[in-house]
A and B are shown apart, each in its own frame.
Chain A
């Protein structure tokens, strides 16, 4: 079965497909190491500054975070359906599922923007304008938290540094993914994936699911750390 997408340096289409998938998994391994550095920093500082992490984590909106988790899982679901549609060579369905994947990805980024914007208004973005008064004196802001000593309150800045670094890197991966989705949708629309050549869709699917999984770790670690019984 000679496909037009078969590249000359591969002996067989199977070899080409296997090489592509293997390469994608290796790339995901590098991504694990990339995020691994951040998760390691999180582990360290969460142990050192547990109180500050708990209080700062309570600033994050669980409804928004949970919504986003659902949105992202939905997006991943449509991506999986997209891979299926490509495999059974249904061009219309493939385009539809890719568009739905893209739309849900954009919804996720929109919700993220709302969350970031709130942090901006509350001066919870690390840097020169970071303000700890809400953590030193929570009752003045109508919060039921225990007040933190000023030096521990400073450490909330580490939490927010990690929050922005981790969700920021995740969002960057989403943006790159959405750009790739536009390109894949256009190619799918031209019918490039309707003849049994599904490697790009499959491999992008792996990437998109990986980005989902990163979020599935970020959500409990950043939003829910004070939700276990006894805390």
Chain B
């Protein structure tokens, strides 16, 4: 069986043409984009806006690394540095990582993968983009008016009593952007439950859909708790209510509980959709069904469930009781189990696959290595004794950047390259993008591996000065950040170039099995000419090989 379908038949792209009618040229004018209900157009709106915010957040990262080039606080004053890392965290988390894959690739692909014409609630989908933009504008307003220096965590009573910066403006931004995330999650859940094409059973859905389902549960259940804690912080700051204020009988630790009840699951909101991308990419470029499909599907749901019961591991040094610390430590380590299930199953998918090394696959390999390191160091931090030593140091900074940047951002770039032909109808330049993938990987490791050592040696996070003996490692890290910056600029340039000059992609340049690859690229506004009837499992390469070639997939 394996001998027949491991032969890779790449289609002849020279004969491919761009379809005359597609979602991009269906209507003209700016208003047709700003008032659209089409999930694909909304995905493009999101893609443009999150890229914009990514580069603003990235600029702050650059400034942070520049300040840390020397041990002395010589580039900016302490307060300014505090604002730098606060704005970096707030923009990257709430305006980039949380919506990154779900709002762009998820929006674009979810209905197509399920065989539907659109998400269940197109208007709410558009509303969610507007809420995101309002949140973004409030963040920019806070930035222009002088910034905020609470860190992205809004720790009370620092945020409520001791700072004179734009906390309420930023809180409003996060509150509004949070509802954008809630509506995205709600839309996905309803779509997955109610909009599947005939024959698309739960266990025929691509794993991309499963991981988005798990992330959506977290968005819907977690984000409202962030909303109410942010409201209470804002009320405490403006009116002076006393829910978190110790002088009035309130307890700052309650804020930590409420905040991390969202913000720990938020980590899984960020990573789960990326894991979905990796499943698709690894299967496609190994030409094999994902090993242990059911286990990978359920591990997403397990991560979502466990994710709700580990939040207090952010609070081990804050005076929670030993017993609850013990329980939370144990539960934290349990999350490693479903994550490891995924890693092992991807590894077994690669085994004896017909692997090719296109750009998305390079990014996916980057994800596998870096996410594994990020996840394993998470287990160190979940261990109570180690956490006392490592928390609030650069070790933790390195840990979550390995998961979020090494994991999620790699997955995002893998997905963008993978589906770029579907979204635009054109190929990106292959050799240049391979160079970008390798540059990103090298730059990333150079930036963040030294930070593990720095943290272990005791360099605390969020300071802009450090003892001179830490300088060598910090210089390495800053040099790595420069390489990383180049690695991120490259895709922006060549993807932009490819919009006009890229080779025509054709319907299925990767010979992938997903429903989205069986339609024209870029797709029609209504996605399918007629509702597909699904009669095969996900990742069924034999089905693809036997699919009749006379099917009409384009019109006009």
- A residues with a Cβ closer than 8 A to B are 7-11, 15, 18-19, 22-23, 26-27, 29-31, 33-38, 40-41, 44-45, 48-49, 52, 125-128, 130, 154-155, 157-158, 160-162, 164-165, 169
Q: Which residues of A contact B516 (CB under 8 A)?
A: none
Instruction: State A49–B228 Cα separation when bound (angstroms).
Output: 22
Contact of A161 among B186, B228, B242 (CB under 8 A): B242
A23 and chain B: residue at smallest CB distance: B190
Q: Is the interface of A mostly helix, strand, loop or mixed?
A: helix
Query: A66: shortest Cβ distance to chain B, in Å?
Result: 26
Given the interface pairs A158-B242, A165-B232, the reply to whether A37 lies near B194 with Cβ below 8 Å is no
CB pair B243–A164 under 8 Å, yes or no, is no
CB pair B254–A33 under 8 Å, yes or no, is no
B239 interface residue (CB < 8 Å to A): yes
Query: B57: shortest Cβ distance to chain A, in Å?
Result: 27
Stretch at the interface among B1-9, B115-123, B360-368, B547-555: B115-123
Instruction: State A225–B190 Cα separation when bound (angstroms).
Output: 39
Q: Which residues of B contact A15 (CB under 8 A)?
A: 194-195
CB pair B249–A158 under 8 Å, yes or no, is yes
CB pair A26–B225 under 8 Å, yes or no, is no
CB pair B117–A161 under 8 Å, yes or no, is no
Given the interface pairs A37-B228, A44-B254, A161-B243, the reply to whether A19 lies near B190 with Cβ below 8 Å is yes
Instruction: State A204–B235 Cα separation when bound (angstroms).
Output: 29
Stretch at the interface among B216-224, B484-492, B501-509: B216-224
Q: Which residues of A contact B243 (CB under 8 A)?
A: 41, 45, 158, 161-162, 165
CB pair A164–B186 under 8 Å, yes or no, is no
CB pair B249–A45 under 8 Å, yes or no, is yes
Query: B104: shortest Cβ distance to chain A, in Å?
Result: 20
Q: List 23 A-B contacts (CB under 8 A).
A: A9-B195, A19-B121, A19-B191, A22-B193, A29-B220, A33-B221, A34-B225, A34-B227, A34-B228, A35-B228, A36-B224, A38-B228, A44-B251, A45-B243, A45-B251, A126-B242, A126-B248, A127-B241, A128-B240, A130-B240, A157-B249, A161-B241, A164-B241
Instruction: State A19–B229 Cα separation when bound (angstroms).
Output: 30
CB pair B182–A161 under 8 Å, yes or no, is no
CB pair A27–B228 under 8 Å, yes or no, is no
CB pair B225–A169 under 8 Å, yes or no, is no
B11 interface residue (CB < 8 Å to A): no
Instruction: State A33–B261 Cα separation when bound (angstroms).
Output: 11
Given the interface pairs A9-B117, A126-B239, the reply to whether A30 lies near B249 with Cβ below 8 Å is no
Instruction: State A15–B190 Cα separation when bound (angstroms).
Output: 11
CB pair B258–A11 under 8 Å, yes or no, is no
B146 interface residue (CB < 8 Å to A): no
Query: B100: shortest Cβ distance to chain A, in Å?
Result: 21
B231 interface residue (CB < 8 Å to A): yes
CB pair B224–A49 under 8 Å, yes or no, is no
B235 and chain A: residue at smallest CB distance: A165
CB pair A18–B194 under 8 Å, yes or no, is yes
Q: Which residues of A contact B223 (CB under 8 A)?
A: 30
Query: A46: shortest Cβ distance to chain B, in Å?
Result: 12
Query: A118: shortest Cβ distance to chain B, in Å?
Result: 17
Given the interface pairs A15-B194, A22-B190, A161-B241, the reply to whether A30 lies near B224 with Cβ below 8 Å is yes
Instruction: State A15–B121 Cα separation when bound (angstroms).
Output: 12
Interface centre among A18, A30, A31 (most CB of B within 10 A): A30
B253 and chain A: residue at smallest CB distance: A44
Query: B14: shortest Cβ distance to chain A, in Å?
Result: 35
